[in-house]
Amino acid sequence: MFNNHKIKFKKILFFTGLIIIIFYFLITYQVSKKNNNLEISFIDSGQADAIFIKTPNQQNIIIDFGSEQGLKELEKEIPWWNKQIDLIIITHPHDDHITGLIPIIKKYDVKQILYNGIDYESTIYNELLKLISYYKIPLLLPVYNQTINLESDCFFNIIYPITNIYQQKIDNVNNSSIVSRLTCNHSSFLFMGDAENEVESEILSAGINIKSDVIKIGHHGSVTASNQKFLEAVNPKIAIIMVGENNDFNHPSLRIIKRLEKLNIKIFRTDQDGTIKIISDGKKIYKSN
């Protein structure tokens, strides 16, 4: 008799737990679906870039992922019912921008990848290209001033490269970076990859619109990027510097920090702030707590 009661109690406990779990996932799903904000997470991945974008209509986009350190943070951002990555942008093939993409491609359903296609040799890059080929993921090339439509009132504009660099050898690979500007419900974000001063000058000479609310600072805050005229043209409210704590390169440069402060640009750094989530509701832009 005692054993029967014990078995019944375990069954009740099991089904109660199951109901609670189902209820939790349903609530989580409904809350997520009602969220129509643009959310951009600059994931703390040490001395690497790793950016995750969730659009108002729940598209998942990644710009670079240079370390496996940020993978757990990424898993928190992608809901259990949606394992699809709609677009990956590889700004350039340096290891600190691509290493984390290998496990991502193995785990998620990646629909397409935008890359610069330059002639570049590295063990990790070769492995990545083989993996992309194995999974038959379409590879796109950037076209200057091209618009990539994501959804209503949400699109990327390709700012750089200005000329076709496909299969070319580039002396300074940083300056092959795809520079893109995301506009979504009147909010704008400029993603610089590791582009340096030479690229910034080319962009300014081209006369294309780069004014943005938020800029992801080029080359981890190195003095080789973020010149005064370029920052003035972008005129951002917020600057994000993706950089590792106590890194060997002395990034970010104190000169760049002072330059941003002088222009009254709010600075967030992954080495000090950890993962930085910027949210736009179409009217205001703010950092999530």
Instruction: Please check whether residues 200 and 107 belong to one and the same domain.
Output: yes
CB of 158 within 8 A of CB of 142?
yes
**Total-model pTM:** 0.88
Instruction: Please check whether residues 247 and 120 belong to one and the same domain.
Output: yes
Q: Which pLDDT score, from 0 to 100, does residue 9 have?
A: 52
Residue 83's CATH number: 3.60.15.10
Q: Which pLDDT score, from 0 to 100, does residue 24 have?
A: 40
Q: Is 14 exposed, middle or buried (0-12, 13-18, 19+ CB in 10 A)?
A: exposed
Q: Which pLDDT score, from 0 to 100, does residue 3 have?
A: 57
Q: Which pLDDT score, from 0 to 100, does residue 227 have?
A: 97
Q: Which of 198, 249, 187, 262 lies closest to 221, judged by CA? A: 249
Instruction: Please check whether residues 10 and 88 belong to one and the same domain.
Output: no
Q: Which pLDDT score, from 0 to 100, does residue 4 have?
A: 58
Cα 101-110-174 angle, rounded to 5 deg? 40
CA distance 6 to 10: 6
Instruction: Please check whether residues 27 and 40 belong to one and the same domain.
Output: no
Q: Which of 205, 184, 203 lies closest to 193, judged by CA? A: 203
CB of 88 within 8 A of CB of 180?
no
Q: Which pLDDT score, from 0 to 100, does residue 81 have?
A: 83
Instruction: Please check whether residues 12 and 72 belong to one and the same domain.
Output: no
Q: Which pLDDT score, from 0 to 100, does residue 27 have?
A: 43
- Domain interval for residue 19: 1-34
- What is the domain count for the chain? 2
Instruction: Please check whether residues 17 and 70 belong to one and the same domain.
Output: no
| C-alpha dihedral sign at 259, 279, 218, 182 | negative
Q: What are phi and psi of 196, to 5 degrees?
A: -110, -170
pLDDT digits (tens, 9 = 90+) for 101-152: 999 999 999 999 999 999 999 999 999 999 999 999 999 999 999 999 999 9
Instruction: Please check whether residues 150 and 278 belong to one and the same domain.
Output: yes
CA distance 22 to 4: 27
- Name the pairing type of β-strands 84-85 and 109-110: parallel
Q: Which pLDDT score, from 0 to 100, does residue 283 have?
A: 82
Q: Which pLDDT score, from 0 to 100, does residue 32 have?
A: 45
Q: Which pLDDT score, from 0 to 100, does residue 28 have?
A: 43
Q: Which pLDDT score, from 0 to 100, does residue 21 have?
A: 44
Beta bridge partners of 286: 279
Which DSSP string corresponds to 132-171? HHHTT--EE---TT-EEEEETTEEEEEEE-SS--TT---S
CA distance 122 to 251: 24
Report residue 194 as tokens.
């590791």
Instruction: Please check whether residues 60 and 109 belong to one and the same domain.
Output: yes
Instruction: Please check whether residues 84 and 14 belong to one and the same domain.
Output: no
Q: Which residues of the chain have pLDDT under 70?
A: 1-35
Q: Which pLDDT score, from 0 to 100, does residue 282 have?
A: 81
